């Protein structure tokens, strides 16, 4: 089973367009201009390619909830917009500003009738802005937005946060990579099994989604531990060992796998998967027939051997112990752990399902090995080496977009791509069709207020260093400042040091 890959053709270096307004008509940037900037967090095409669901972050204004995550990327301050690809008409499916509610991570059902989204929308006695992240379904036929249950959904933290990294693949909607709330940094906690069922990763009762409390969680945990110590419930010392002598795993670190029927709102628990939330990702891959899921679970950080550094340590998959298992997608299913042979002792990543219904994965035999090999477990539990295989089903299409264009939808089964481009005059959502001659149209433009800003100038200065080598320098000039001359630079004698160039301005 291969997976599509978008190949971006750089159409040219990103150049900010010249403003048509004169300097007298423009104004200085203010903090309100910055806070009013909107962001397209996600955009996804419907299966028939006729509709776009765009997740748009609201301006950072009074009345919103702050402090959960960096404000400029906070998805809990977003709404979902529906855009007609043919006409360009759009309307808001949600309006969370009044309740400080967020809606994000939109995913179309395979038949295009429904959108699954995550939301902090409060109901009943829940506080304004919500107290957790839950699954909602929007029905295109009825227009209703319905909460599926009060159960908290597992969410991945952003900006490189370590909590609950997710990697879900397979299902009824094909992707060229993991299902994502945001292609760059946020894996989705659910996927569609068919037009009415979702496979969802939820949290144990009483836990809060990481995207809401990633900053406050350490302090809450410390206060809870201090209270337990004072009451004598928590021991003041813990026995620790190395190698195979380990502490019992924390039972609270579990991902509860559920199947949700969106037509009846009924949820059935499949299994509770143990996981280590601080490093690497919880990887799930649904089989092509939709009956099983392979799980590659981080179980704990690897302890470096004496005098050695873990190889490839910048890749978190090489720094944790991961367990491979198979789970039937059925109520109260058991987790069947694979017992790997010595040469595959440390699983690294899921490679994909083979045509015969077996799953290939990569692994290594020891912590010191710097290269992995592919293996193929059998139904009986044995594991055999698997020759490296090429992705014969790769889909390669060239889409011309600027170097700073941001890819938003990677659907390999549609001949289109959604992307955005931002500059001094605003942010634009565009759709490009992969044909003999690529056509591109604008679907949505935001941040138009930026066109009135006087951004100053960026000037390129040519100069020659003390050795006669031609070099260039960049002068960033604030509004109202003009570059008159650049004098000879003063360079250090050490190779690789910066040169100081004197700029004369008025």
Torsions phi, psi for 439 (to 5 deg): -115, 140
- Burial call 230-264: b when 16+ CB within 10 Å, e when fewer: eeeeeeeeeeeeeeeeeeeeeeebbbbbbbbebee
Q: What percent of the chain has pLDDT over 70?
A: 80
User: So what's the pLDDT on residue 249?
Assistant: 52
What is the C-alpha to C-alpha distance for residues 353 and 350, in angstroms, rounded to an integer? Answer: 9
For residue 189, give both structure tokens.
């906690």
Q: What is the pLDDT of residues 87-111, one digit of tens each?
A: 999 999 999 999 999 999 999 999 9
User: So what's the pLDDT on residue 502?
Assistant: 52
pLDDT at 5 over 70: no
Q: Please answer whether residues 324 and 351 qualify as being in contact, where contact means their C-beta atoms are separated by less than 8 angstroms.
A: no
pLDDT at 226 over 90: no
Beta bridge partners of 297: 323
User: So what's the pLDDT on residue 398?
Assistant: 58
Mean pLDDT of the chain: 84
pLDDT at 19 over 60: no
Q: Please answer whether residues 331 and 366 qualify as being in contact, where contact means their C-beta atoms are separated by less than 8 angstroms.
A: no
Q: Which residue has the higher pLDDT, 161 or 193?
A: 193
User: So what's the pLDDT on residue 3?
Assistant: 34
pLDDT at 240 over 80: no
- Beta-sheet strands, E only, within 331-405: 335-337, 346-353, 359-364, 373-377, 383-385, 396-401
pLDDT at 6 over 50: no
What is the C-alpha to C-alpha distance for residues 433 and 173, in angstroms, rounded to an integer? Answer: 20
pLDDT at 129 over 80: yes
Report the CATH number of the 5-11+25-210+238-451 domain. Answer: 2.130.10
List, edge to edge, every strand of the sheet that includes 426-433. 406-409, 416-423, 426-433, 439-446
pLDDT at 130 over 60: yes
Residue matched to tokens 């990887």: 283
pTM for this structure?
0.84
Tell me the mean pLDDT in the region 12-27.
Answer: 49
Q: What is the pLDDT of residues 36-89, one digit of tens each?
A: 999 999 999 999 999 999 999 999 999 999 988 888 989 999 999 999 999 999
pLDDT at 121 over 90: yes
User: So what's the pLDDT on residue 390?
Assistant: 42
Q: Give the 3-state DSSP-derived string for 211-279, with helices as H, strands as E and coil as C.
A: HHHCCCHHHHHHHHHHHHHHHCCCCCCCCCCCCCCCCCCCCCCEEEEEEEECCCCEEEEEEEEECCCCC
Q: Please answer whether residues 438 and 446 qualify as being in contact, where contact means their C-beta atoms are separated by less than 8 angstroms.
A: no
User: So what's the pLDDT on residue 336?
Assistant: 94
Q: Which residue has the higher pLDDT, 410 or 278?
A: 278
Q: Check residue 20 and report its DSSP letter.
A: S
Q: Check residue 165 and report its DSSP letter.
A: E
> Which of 8-17, 41-50, 177-186, 490-499 is predicted least confidently?
8-17
> Which of 146-150, 226-230, 248-252, 389-393 is predicted least confidently?
389-393
* Range among 252-261, 307-316, 480-489 rated most confident: 252-261
Beta bridge partners of 295: 284, 325
Q: Give the 3-state DSSP-derived string for 264-333, with helices as H, strands as E and coil as C.
A: CCEEEEEEEEECCCCCCEEEEEECCCCCEEEEEEEEEECCCCCCCCCCCCCCHHHCEEEEEEEEECCCCC
The SS3 call for residue 448 is: helix
Q: Check residue 153 and report its DSSP letter.
A: B
pLDDT at 243 over 60: no
User: So what's the pLDDT on residue 192?
Assistant: 98
User: So what's the pLDDT on residue 245?
Assistant: 45
* Range among 96-100, 211-215, 277-281, 406-410 rated most confident: 96-100
Residues 6+ apart with CB under 8 A from 346: 302, 321, 322, 363, 364, 365, 366, 367
> What residues does CATH 2.130.10 cover in the chain?
5-11+25-210+238-451
Residues 6+ apart with CB under 8 A from 476: 456, 457, 458
User: So what's the pLDDT on residue 228?
Assistant: 81
pLDDT at 244 over 50: no
pLDDT at 215 over 50: yes
Helix (H) or strand (E) holding 35: helix 31-35
Torsions phi, psi for 365 (to 5 deg): -90, -25
Confidence of residue 343 (pLDDT cuts 50, 70, 90): very high
Confidence of residue 8 (pLDDT cuts 50, 70, 90): very low
Report how far apart the first and last C-alpha atoms of the chain are (Å, whole number): 63
Residues 6+ apart with CB under 8 A from 424: 16, 17, 19, 450, 451, 453, 455
Tell me the mean pLDDT in the region 130-158.
Answer: 95
Q: Check residue 497 and report its DSSP letter.
A: P
């Amino acid at each position: 089973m291969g997976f599509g890959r978008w190949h971006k053709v750089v159409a040219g270096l990103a150049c900010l367009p010249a403003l048509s307004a004169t300097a007298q008509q423009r104004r200085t940037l203010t903090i309100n201009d910055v806070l009013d900037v909107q962001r397209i967090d996600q955009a996804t095409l419907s299966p028939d390619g006729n509709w776009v669901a765009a997740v748009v972050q609201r301006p950072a204004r009074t009345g919103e909830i702050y402090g959960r995550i960096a404000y400029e990327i906070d998805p809990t301050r977003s709404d979902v917009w529906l855009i007609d690809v043919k006409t360009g008409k759009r309307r808001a499916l949600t309006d969370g500003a009044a309740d400080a509610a967020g809606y994000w991570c939109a995913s179309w059902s395979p038949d295009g009738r429904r959108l699954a989204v995550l939301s902090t929308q409060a109901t009943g006695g829940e506080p304004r802005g919500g107290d957790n992240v839950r699954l909602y379904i929007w029905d295109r036929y009825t227009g209703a937005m319905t909460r599926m249950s009060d159960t908290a959904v597992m969410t991945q933290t952003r900006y490189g946060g370590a909590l609950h990294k997710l990697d879900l693949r397979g299902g009824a909607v094909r992707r060229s990579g993991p299902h994502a709330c945001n292609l760059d940094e946020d894996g989705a906690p659910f996927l569609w099994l068919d037009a009415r069922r979702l496979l969802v990763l939820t949290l144990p009762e009483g836990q809060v989604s990481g995207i809401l409390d990633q900053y406050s969680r350490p302090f809450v945990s410390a206060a809870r531990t201090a209270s337990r110590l004072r009451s004598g419930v928590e021991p003041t010392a813990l026995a620790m060992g190395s190698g195979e002598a380990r502490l019992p795993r924390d039972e609270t670190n579990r991902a509860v796998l559920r199947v949700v029927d969106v037509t009846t709102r009924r949820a059935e628990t499949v299994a509770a998967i143990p996981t280590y939330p601080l490093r690497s990702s919880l990887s799930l891959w649904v089989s092509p027939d939709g009956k099983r899921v392979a799980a590659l679970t981080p179980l704990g950080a690897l302890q470096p051997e004496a005098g050695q550094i873990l190889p490839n340590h910048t890749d978190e998959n090489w720094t944790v112990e991961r367990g491979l298992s198979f789970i039937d997608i059925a109520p109260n299913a058991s987790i069947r752990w694979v017992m790997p042979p010595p040469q595959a002792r440390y699983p690294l990543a899921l490679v994909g399902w083979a045509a015969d219904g077996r799953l290939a994965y990569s692994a290594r035999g020891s912590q010191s090995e710097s290269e992995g090999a592919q293996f193929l477990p059998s139904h009986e539990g044995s594991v055999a080496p698997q020759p490296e295989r090429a992705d014969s089903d790769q889909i390669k299409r060239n889409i011309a977009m600027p170097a700073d264009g941001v890819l938003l939808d990677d659907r390999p089964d549609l001949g289109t791509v959604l992307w955005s481009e931002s500059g001094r005059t605003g942010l634009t959502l565009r759709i490009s069709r992969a044909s003999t001659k690529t056509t591109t149209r604008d679907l949505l433009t935001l941040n138009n207020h930026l066109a009135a800003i006087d951004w100053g100038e960026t000037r390129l200065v040519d100069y020659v260093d003390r050795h006669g080598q031609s070099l260039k320098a960049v002068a960033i000039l604030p509004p109202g400042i003009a570059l008159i001359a650049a004098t000879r630079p003063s360079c250090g004698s050490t190779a690789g040091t910066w040169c100081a160039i004197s700029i004369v301005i008025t």
